[in-house]
Amino acid sequence: MPLSNPRKPGRIFISYRRDETGFPASWLYERLAAHFGAEQVFKDVDSIELGDDFNEAIANAVGACDVLLVLIGTQWLTTTDEAGHRRLENSDDFVRLEIEAALQRKVRIIPILVGRARMPRADQLPDSLGKLVHRQALELDPNRFEADSRRLVRVVERTLAEEEERREDEESRLTTVHTMVASLRADGQAEVDAADAALRRLASDENERVAQAAQAVLHVWEVEQGSRRSGVKQRALPADEERRRRERPEPTRPVPPPAKALASLPPVEATDAGHATVPVETPTPAPPEGVPADARLARRRLLIAGAALAALVVGGGVAYAQYGRAGGEDVAGGPAAPGASTGPTASPSGTTPADELCTKEIMNNQRWVCLTSAVIADGKLTIMYKVDYAGSTPNIITGYHVHFYGSDGKNPPDYLMGSQVPASKGKYYWDDHQPSIRSVQDVRYASAIGDAKKVCARIAIAGHGLVPDSKGGYKTGNCVPITRP
């Protein structure tokens, strides 16, 4: 347990090697702290409290800084570890990780050359550090330390002011995004249309955070609108069918002849009408004089056939009445007869699969992630999630972040997700943004998600090794089904 609360990371980060540039780093720290305040400057020995997690403190500070000062001495390129390997070639070397994170975040990096050191060439650096050579360096000479440090202070002061202005503008735009979310659900269509148009402009904003936030809102809104239209269409189908039934003309039933002109015939059963028996009688008038016997026989057969047809029509009317019942009521709106079929009923939905649950077991870990939705729309996969890094600043280079991978609903072997196992390559991708937005054209999407029905997540640390859970496994996240509207 820490002996004190960790200090908030400063906006100025000093990167150095203790055994080479420890003294110049201390001089700079004192000069910058006197001008900007000690809380604005991060230097490991002076800024990490007793009991704090060293790795975590470094990751948080690099992830929050606005200026990175890289002190480069004459041995900066060639310094080796105990095994004789050049330290910059080690992907876990702190100096390398600090510079990589700053380059990725596009913060201002100022190389400071100490002791007549020279800027390294690109071919002398790992590929991930190549862009460092394009940064304008400051030569720090002990004989003119005051003048050099004043020049540095002016540049840092201007940078911090620009970043503060950019941050305020970003927050203002994010507030606009949140305001537009409320306007999307307004009663007036004009207000909804205006909010939709504003969000689409913000979705292409040059600020990455603003653009991602607007894109995520639009994706959710489009899916919601698609579901709503689908629901309205489904509800309209029975209503349209009911209207057509009501407008359908009633079948014409034959008028039976007068009772006095009928004679008894065997009953005709209409089996399609629920086995209802309809007695039918045919007329037997006295044969008129002069009509041949054959003609009288043909006329009698015609009358019998007509009677049978009348029985079938009556039976058909009964069958139509049965067919017209829907939802427990017949076409006329009355209650269905006891025992009448009311059609198929919806089966109850199943319970949420275990791998989709955000369980207490997951959230009891020190660090955890719970996915809430995964939507593919407009050629992008947007994953919304809740995450707890235990106070750490997310960073895929130097700190904690999230690994995403496709799943068929079964938990895959954990080695598929990281720890630098060769078999894991292509089986997952990583992100430290929230929400996570990935183009379906991205090769990482194709290899990690592809045609998977679900997407799952786990917590990882610098180097992409998985973070163990409280039980010694790696169950620090859940899965959700992928929605493709």
Q: Is the dihedral of CA 202, 205, 209, 211 positive or negative?
A: positive
CA distances 155 to 61, 108, 110, 137, 399, Å, are 20, 10, 10, 12, 28
CA atoms within 13 A on the CB side of 301: 6
Do you find a cis peptide bond into 481, omega within 30 degrees of 0?
no
Ranges of beta strands (E only) in 115-241 are 138-140
- Say which residues have a Cβ less than 8 Å from residue 229's Cβ, sequence separation at least 6: none
Three-state SS for 62-130 is: HHHCCEEEEEECCCCCCCECCCCCEHHHCCCCHHHHHHHHHHHHCCEEEEEEECCCCCCCHHHCCHHHH
pLDDT value of position 8: 45
Tokens representing 29? 């720290």
Distance between CA 413 and CA 392 in Å, rounded? 27
Question: Which contiguous run of DSSP H or E holds residue 183?
Answer: helix 145-184
Distance between CA 418 and CA 425 in Å, rounded? 8
Tokens representing 365? 């870990």
Distance between CA 387 and CA 391 in Å, rounded? 11
Q: What is the pLDDT along the chain (485 residues), one digit of tens a residue?
A: 333 333 345 689 999 999 899 999 999 999 999 999 998 999 886 677 777 777 777 777 887 889 999 999 999 999 998 889 999 999 888 899 889 888 888 889 999 999 889 999 999 999 999 999 999 999 998 888 899 999 999 999 999 999 888 888 888 888 888 788 778 877 778 888 888 888 888 888 877 778 878 888 887 777 777 766 665 555 555 666 666 666 666 555 555 555 444 344 344 444 443 444 344 444 444 555 554 555 555 555 545 444 444 443 434 443 333 323 333 333 333 333 333 333 333 333 457 888 888 998 999 999 999 999 999 988 899 999 999 998 888 888 778 899 998 886 555 545 455 443 334 445 788 888 889 998 888 877 888 888 888 999 999 887 777 888 888 778 899 899 998 86
Please choose, from the candidates 237, 234, 235, the residue with its C-alpha nearest in 3D space to the C-alpha of residue 245: 237
Chain center to CA of 344: 35
Task: Spell out a b/e string for 445-468, using b for 16 or more CB atoms within 10 Å of the CB, else e.
Answer: beebbeebebbbbbbbbbebebbe
β-partners of residue 80 are: 86
- Say which residues have a Cβ less than 8 Å from residue 357's Cβ, sequence separation at least 6: 478
Tokens representing 242? 């009911």
Specify whether the CB–CB gap between 62 and 395 falls below 8 A.
Answer: yes
- Assign 223 to helix, strand or coil: helix
Question: Which contiguous run of DSSP H or E holds residue 455?
Answer: strand 454-461
| CATH entry 3.40.50 includes domain 354-483 | no
Strand-strand pairing, 41-42 and 380-388: unpaired
- Classify domain 12-140 at the CATH topology level: Rossmann fold (3.40.50)
Tokens representing 171? 């927050």
Specify whether the CB–CB gap between 103 and 132 falls below 8 A.
Answer: yes
Q: Is the dihedral of CA 135, 140, 144, 148 positive or negative?
A: positive
Instruction: Identify the DSSP state of 335.
Output: B
Distance between CA 477 and CA 144 in Å, rounded? 55
User: Using alpha carbons only, what angle is made at residue 224 by residues 179 and 403, rounded to the nearest 5 degrees?
Assistant: 85
